[in-house]
Chains A and B, each alone.
Chain A
Amino acid sequence: MARQSNDTPVSNHTSTLGTFRSLLRIYPYAKSALPRIYLGMGAALGAGLVALSIPLVLEALVDGPLSTGDSSQIWWAVGAVLGLGVLEAVFIALRRWFVLTPGTHVEAAMRNSLYSRLQDLPVAFHDRWQSGQLLSRAVSDLHLIRRWLSFGLVLLVVNTVTIVIGAAVLFYWHWLLGTIFLVLAVPIWVYGFVFEKKYSIIARRSQDQAGDLATAVEESVHGIRVLKAFGRGKYALRNFESQAESLRGTEIEKAKAIAGIWLWLLLLPDVAFALCLFTGVWLASAGEITVGQLFAFFATATVLRFPIESIGFLLSMTFDTRTATDRFFEVLDTTNTITDPENPATIPAPKGRLRFEDVRFRYADSPEGVPDLLDGVDLTLEPGETMALVGLTGSGKSTLTALPTRLYDVTGGRVTLDGVDVRNLSREELRRHIAMAFEDATLFSASVRDNVLLGRDDLDPTSPEADATLNEALDIAQAGFVRDLPDGVGTTVGEEGLSLSGGQRQRLALARAVAAKPAVLVLDDPLSALDVDTEALVEAALRRVLASTTALIVAHRPSTVMLADRVALLENGRITAVGRHSELLASSEHYKFVISSLEDEEKREAAEQIDRALADDTREQEEVSK
């Protein structure tokens, strides 16, 4: 069942980068937004200053002009207060206006670049990474980063500036009082560093666990048929629950860490206040400062309380963002092992000669000492030839079919198309020359038409040519049933559309490969879900296409093998025999073992006949004995 992704490739939690350096990596995305963020900080400072000045002005007004009892002064005073009040509102509006929209652009840009990066990364990457981990990066993490940029960062800077200015003012009132405040700030700094270490680890864990949870949700929905078939909803819930509980534990741990720093951030200023009060009284009694100055000192110090307290959640938000950034860049930093060459070769008129030359391949996680899964495959498909690939379950047939289109790259040897190493072609071109149908038919949420014409981005979808291609492909794959669907070929299929039967999906996937009109067709067990009659029809139609197209077809059944001109037998990672079906049947023991079922079929039929004869006998005997 979906458990913790104990081997997600992100175990190295505390990256060596400091928080600051780590966050700085957002810079390229945030660059265009920064001027407005700076302006926003300015506006925030302005709003803060005005807000501070309003009580002072009020006080001054009430004590001054108003106390004279001159009614003409009232309008002035009210005007001043109103003016400042409006100014404050304007500053706040400005701050929001400056900061918030650019933040959404940064988020969107990061999301798009994550998405395109993910599409670019090889299949091996996707094998390794839990889908929920990718999703939580694309959604929650980026959301966090946006909020920090447009809110956390601004407040962090503004509040820090306020604290620094405030501290200077405190010193101005009296150095001793200021020193007390500063000295008591030291533990906060120290604690801050401890907090960073501790909190970052928890924050990271919580984000990873949230990703695991998303994975569990996704699997519980994708695997709903299995869970229903076995009535395992409750069982899945138990697993999910234990994961959710771990996340809850982490979140509470996180809250405890925040509570810890909050405690200090609240406590120390209070202790400082108390000490200052005492010292202040003492200083005043010694005549060092006036009562008015003492009052002013506390007034300033009070203003600093909120900024100091807010540092707590601003820091935690910052560290959250930092781990989110780390997670984001983990994907972006992954080196793509399957890239386009710098100077791609090109095949202007592909003939379709596909060659495997001493091809070796092993999956990254296969243990040492085990021979390569593909251990030196040599195979040549001549232009226009149809080659069936036969081998036992797990022998590596599907793996071999993934190599020509570079879904995986060979780990040794090479695959060439018309003499050009496939790694020297751009992936775009390569995949235009070679089209595939996979074992499991993936349909996207789009119309039948779009699904079938997926490989034909060169055609205008509304052109008659596209229609012709579509119809031809549907006919070859015997997928005429789509015309009876509610909206014909315009019916949406795939997850967001109509569900189809297994064989119907497989035929559409086949039609898609055929419609691409490639130089080379690679079909992985393309007829497994078809009944005997439909299979025969598809084969008859396919033969026409295959006459001019090179094809590699994985086959488990003799009926599929019949399609091919020649058959290649994959055994222990090598092609141990190539030849016509009848030749191999005569010459290769292993081939016979893999493909032939006639003997036991005959045996079974013979046995059945004997059974039946026996049954008849007994019946006769019974009748006789009556």
Chain B
Amino acid sequence: MSSATVTGVEGEERDDFTKQESAQIRRRSLTLLGSLLAPLKLRVVLTMLVVVISTAAQVAGPALIAFGIDRGLPAVLDSNDWMPAFLIVGLYLFTGIVGAVLIAWYTVLSARISQAILIDLRKRVFLQTQKLSLEFHENYTSGRIISRQTSDLDAIRELLDSGINQLVSGFLYMLFTGIALFLLDGISGLVLLGSLLPLYFLTRWFQKRSQSLFRQSRVASAKVIVHFVETMTGIRAVKAFRKEKRNEEHFGGLVEDYRGVNAKVIQLFGVFDPGLVFIGNVTVAIVLLVGGFRVVDGSLAIGALLAVVLYTRRFYDPMEEMAMFYNSYQSAAAALEKISGVLEEKPTVPDPVQPIDLWAARGHVRFDNVRFAYKGDTVVLPDFSLDIPAGQTIALVGSTGAGKSTLAKLISRFYDPTAGTVTLDDVDLRDLHPKDLRRAIVMVTQEAYLFSGSVADNIAIGKPEASLDEIQAAARAVGAHTFIESLPNGYDTDVNKRGGRVSAGQRQLISFARAFLADPAVLILDEATASLDIPSERLVQEALQTLLADRTAVIIAHRLSTVAIADRVLVMEHGIIVEDGTPADLISGTGRFAQLHAAWRDSLV
């Protein structure tokens, strides 16, 4: 397998990476980690310093007590001199206070670091999701993005919260203990060193096994989330078609998979952790054995043996905490792998490297030898060219699935053509500065999506800096003002998730007001009036007539009433524009449109 198979989110659900792939993935998550930590360098150093000092203060405590008993007490007993005792108690209090305050400070410091990392990561993933093209989203599903942003981030957060101070102080503790042991007795030191070998193998084993399991766990958790989100989004259909039982079974299976993987990870740790303790305790016994014989032959003092054995034991004391840290590290690493994969994805509709500005667009849209396929070789739009002069209003009609929306999405650069170019005022859309592109071309999509939040906020998406007056003017223009006013809180009414609070037609009116407010040079309406009643549609059409007077527009509609306001009609079948002409010409002709129009005309009353 070539190493390219794990670029981005590809191969994300696998857990059997080759060495090379593993290395590639590890490299990218480490790079990510590095770039997250880089801006925090100073704070990290400060935090480490605080940890070191507070560890020292904590370690000083027992020494001071020993000192107090060894020195302070005799002084009192022998010469009734309380001075040393006072001093030591004072010193003890001091180190205690310093230690405690520093630890408290550390808690806040480390929270700041971990929150800074999390928010940075959150923002990056969010921005990246916004950058990535629709093609990516159509394959990846919202649930996966959500799981990257929630449960994966939770795993990273757990690592950051799991007490880096314990790691640092534990490591320092082991280091100092190890050094002390070597100084005290080299042979015991060597035994300790020898014990690091099984320790290494055990850790390797744990690392290997847990890595793959943690990867599986991330995938399993994402699957749970994907299904959960899908169910809650389609809850009406779930209920209406009695899918609950079947869903429960399916979800139960996913939950069980997730549980199973988790249990396996935990069991693995359940071997790793006692394994460490076991190695530590055996080492103590060996040190005792080796030391004991030397005591017998007189080459080691008995007091030294006690110290040596106790040190060896202490060396392994912080091991459990470090193991737990390592465990959360592995879990976070798996999460980071997935996140870094998303971040590594390159948008298939990238922003231009050298963007061309277009301050005032006239709205001249041209397709030059464009061909388009969503995937592989199923061409949706075979080669065609099309010229839409600035200011022209086009009605795009044709049977469903013909490719009308696809054509519209090419103009608004949701996708790039597979071959050929789409230009606005002779600038290739691929070179146009995104801000100019979005200001110049706006599309009202077939699905009128509203965000939870107020009506006003939803309309303001068309122009975030708009005042309430402008928002209301836009709503008035499309005939939405009256119904919005009659909502419980008028423009401040929360439309609930996906705009569930308002009716389908009202949703379309709000999306329409949005586009009206955006005031673009090129307006694309993809069935924007399909759910409206006839009187509302009439109002919208009147509004359109004024709105479209001086702009380019592409109106996709099955209700041919729109045709009346169009300068030109395009009829599309199977991705091919089969007719192109003024409404009057086409209607009076004998082609497809004449037939469509007659049928439509007949249906009217």
Contact = CB atoms under 8 A, between A and B. Distances in A.
Contacts of A134: 228, 232
A601 B604 contact: yes
Given A62-B302, A86-B281, 8 more contacts: A5-B452, A70-B296, A93-B271, A115-B231, A118-B232, A138-B224, A393-B536, A407-B236
Contacts of B344: none
A282 B77 CA distance: 9
Which bucket holds chain B's interface residue count?
35 or more
Interface string A69-82: 11100100110011
A222 B238 CA distance: 19
A556 B96 contact: no
B605 A558 contact: yes
B240 A436 contact: yes
B142 A244 contact: no
8 contacts: A82-B281, A108-B259, A115-B228, A235-B464, A254-B111, A255-B111, A504-B401, A597-B534
A501 B398 CA distance: 13
The SS class assigned to the B binding surface is helix
Ranked nearest first, the 4 interchain pairs of A and B with the lowest CB-CB distance are A85-B281, A231-B438, A503-B400, A270-B96
A66 B305 contact: yes
Contacts of A210: 150
A5 B293 CA distance: 72
Interface string B275-309: 10110111011001100110110000010011001
A183 interface: no
Interface stretch (A14-22, A165-173, A260-268): A260-268
Given A127-B501, A219-B497, A135 B85 contact: no
Contacts of A601: 561, 564, 601, 604
B533 A594 contact: yes
A445 B118 CA distance: 31
Contacts of A342: none
Interface in A445-498: 445, 454-455, 457, 481, 486, 494-496
Contact of A237 (B93, B126, B141): B126
Nearest to A393: B505
Given A115-B251, A225-B447, A558-B605, A536 B599 contact: yes
Interface in B508-561: 509, 511, 514, 518, 527, 530-538, 558-561
B400 A278 contact: no
Contacts of B105: 259
B427 interface: no
Given A241-B123, A263-B101, A502-B405, A531 B96 contact: no
B564 A62 contact: no
Nearest to B105: A259
Interface string B148-161: 01110010000000
A104 B262 CA distance: 7
A398 B256 contact: no
Contacts of A11: none
B529 to A, nearest CB: 10
B134 A556 contact: no
Interface string A51-65: 000110011011100
Nearest to A222: B142
Interface stretch (B15-23, B25-33, B190-198, B241-249): B241-249
A31 interface: no
Nearest to A559: B603
Interface string B68-111: 11001100110010000110110011011101110111011011
A512 B278 contact: no
A86 to B, nearest CB: 7
B240 A405 contact: yes
B558 A529 contact: yes
A381 B518 CA distance: 46
B285 A82 contact: yes
A62 B309 CA distance: 9
Contact of B483 (A71, A221, A275, A394): A394
Contacts of B239: 119, 123, 405, 407, 427, 431
B302 A233 contact: no
A62 B259 contact: no
Contacts of A277: 65, 68, 72, 85, 88-89, 92
Contacts of A108: 255-256, 258-259
A140 B151 contact: yes
B556 to A, nearest CB: 10
Given A74-B292, A82-B281, A285-B76, A230 B137 contact: no
Interface string B31-73: 0000000000000000000000000000001100100110011
A457 B262 CA distance: 33
Given A104-B266, A111-B255, A495-B141, A281 B488 contact: no
Interface string B218-232: 000100111011111
B534 A595 contact: yes
B76 A96 contact: no
Contact of B488 (A135, A254, A366, A608): A366
A533 interface: yes
A585 B605 CA distance: 9
B397 A531 contact: yes
Interface string A601-626: 10011001000100000000000000
A54 B310 CA distance: 10
A595 to B, nearest CB: 6
B469 interface: no
Interface stretch (A197-205, A291-299, A322-330, A349-357): A291-299
Contacts of B131: 233
A385 interface: no
Given A55-B313, A501-B400, A558-B603, A294 B69 contact: yes
Contacts of A270: 61, 92-93, 95-97, 99-100
B137 A221 contact: yes
A251 B533 contact: no
Contact of B596 (A398, A494, A533, A593): A533
Contacts of B494: 7
Contacts of A501: 400-401, 405
Nearest to B604: A598
B235 interface: yes
A176 interface: no
Nearest to B557: A531
A552 interface: no
A534 interface: yes
Interface in A76-112: 77-78, 81-82, 84-86, 88-90, 92-93, 96-97, 100-101, 103-105, 107-108, 111-112
Contacts of B284: 54, 58, 81, 85
A199 B316 CA distance: 35
A533 B595 CA distance: 9
B36 to A, nearest CB: 15
A130 B233 CA distance: 11
Given A291-B69, A481-B401, A259 B107 contact: yes
Nearest to B406: A501
A222 B234 CA distance: 13
B104 A263 contact: yes
A266 B100 contact: yes
Contacts of A55: 310, 313
Contacts of B444: 229
Nearest to B248: A116
A428 interface: yes
- Which of B103, B110, B235 has the most C-beta atoms of chain A within 10 angstroms of its own C-beta? B235
A558 B68 CA distance: 99
A184 interface: no
A208 interface: no
B502 interface: yes
Given A501-B400, A557-B559, A365 B488 contact: yes
B346 to A, nearest CB: 16
Contact of A271 (B86, B93, B255, B280): B93
Given A112-B251, A221-B146, A502-B446, A273 B92 contact: yes
B604 to A, nearest CB: 5
